[in-house]
Amino acid sequence: MFTWSEYNAPEVVGALAEKDLGVTITLDFYGSNEDLITHLSTSGGASGFDVIVPTGPYVPQMITKNLIQRLDKSKLPNALNLDPLYVGRAWDPSNDYTVCKDWGSTGWMYDTTKIKSDVNTWADFIRVCQTEASGNCSILDTAPNLAGMYFWANGIDWTTERTADLDACENFLVNDFAKHIKAFDSYPSSKIAEGTFAIAMVWNGDARFAFSRLEEAGGDPSRWKWVLGAPATELWMDNYAIATGAANPDAAHAWINWALTPEVSMKDLNWHGYHTGMKHMPELIKQLLPNLVRREMVFFSDAQVATMHTSAVNSAQDRLVDILAKVKAKAGA
């Protein structure tokens, strides 16, 4: 499996999978969809991976480039356990290539003992990174999120393809913001627990991990605050898919189907902290995870979801990747 870091409960990709399915899983990790696509594209169908986990808007180009194969739906009967809200998405309307793994959003965590001002919006986040947390802030290592921060703060649709918007974004991020960045980290929870950053952009599940790691390390979680991005932010959905040239397609189908059973799905949710798209979620939580901690970081209100927007892979993609490269070079991080 080629996936995002710490994205499945250890038993679900370990002992339980071996016990229930006789499947042994080897994991490798990437930090962005661009990294995933580059690896698959350069492997010539011999990537060595069976299951992969792309984010929705990247799926069409992966289909066009023949990086993922059609699913055998007869081997995935448990896909019926998914809520209709999370099937038939625009990137794969018939779910011929993908099924929902989970979905979430983006915000930040900050240490209130180091940052005294409130950080309620993306504009606040940018301001704090340039002032109180200069040289002590972390940004997700993904091109859309780096640019998205700027667009959300300035009331611009983060899927914009306008040259003027992209020019302004690049000018600000490269010339004004880059010098304040300490690190580009797609999974900052461990570093947060170690006190490496004063503020970090983070996906909600990894933020939830950070609180647990702070407790495990004997730190004081109450010092830290999680904030969902505002006034607008991301809504992403990651999906299980099978790589073209997979050596073990039958085992891959069997494992994905097993992962879509409510009992296994809830084990995963409890671990990674993201909504897994199962039907009857309130009932499942009540039955299987009655003591779920920090559930407000897993489930969002309708008002919060209304502020979330899905990304798009469009004509601006290469420009955004180039902006990220330029910001990294300027930051020296």
Residues 6+ apart with CB under 8 A from 305: 235
The two tokens of residue 72 are 């055998």
Interatomic CA distance for residues 237 and 86, integer angstroms: 9
Beta strands in the chain (DSSP E): 2-3, 28-29, 51-52, 99-111, 137-139, 181-184, 199-203, 224-228, 233-242, 308-309
The two tokens of residue 23 are 């499947």
What does the pLDDT read at residue 84? 96
What does the pLDDT read at residue 240? 98
What does the pLDDT read at residue 287? 97
Share of residues in the chain with pLDDT > 90 (%): 98
Predicted confidence (pLDDT) at residue 333 exceeds the cutoff of 90: no
- Angle (CA) 152 57 91, round 5°: 135
Residues 6+ apart with CB under 8 A from 296: none
Range in 40-44, 51-55, 118-122, 304-308 with the lowest mean pLDDT: 40-44
Q: What is the pLDDT of residues 46-80, one digit of tens each?
A: 999 999 999 999 999 999 999 999 999 999 999 99
**Cα–chain-centroid distance for residue 99?**
16
Residues 6+ apart with CB under 8 A from 242: 50, 51, 52, 68, 69, 71, 249, 252, 253, 256
Q: What is the pLDDT of residues 272-281, one digit of tens each?
A: 999 999 999 9
Burial of 279 (0-12, 13-18, 19+ CB in 10 A): middle
Instruction: Enumerate domains of the chain plus CATH numbers.
Output: 2-103+235-298 (3.40.190.10), 105-233+308-331 (3.40.190.10)
Beta strands in 75-180 (DSSP E): 99-111, 137-139
Tell me what the pLDDT averaged over the chain comes to: 97
Q: Which amino acid is at 152?
A: W
**Cα–chain-centroid distance for residue 22?**
29
Longest dimension (CA), the chain: 56
What does the pLDDT read at residue 44? 87
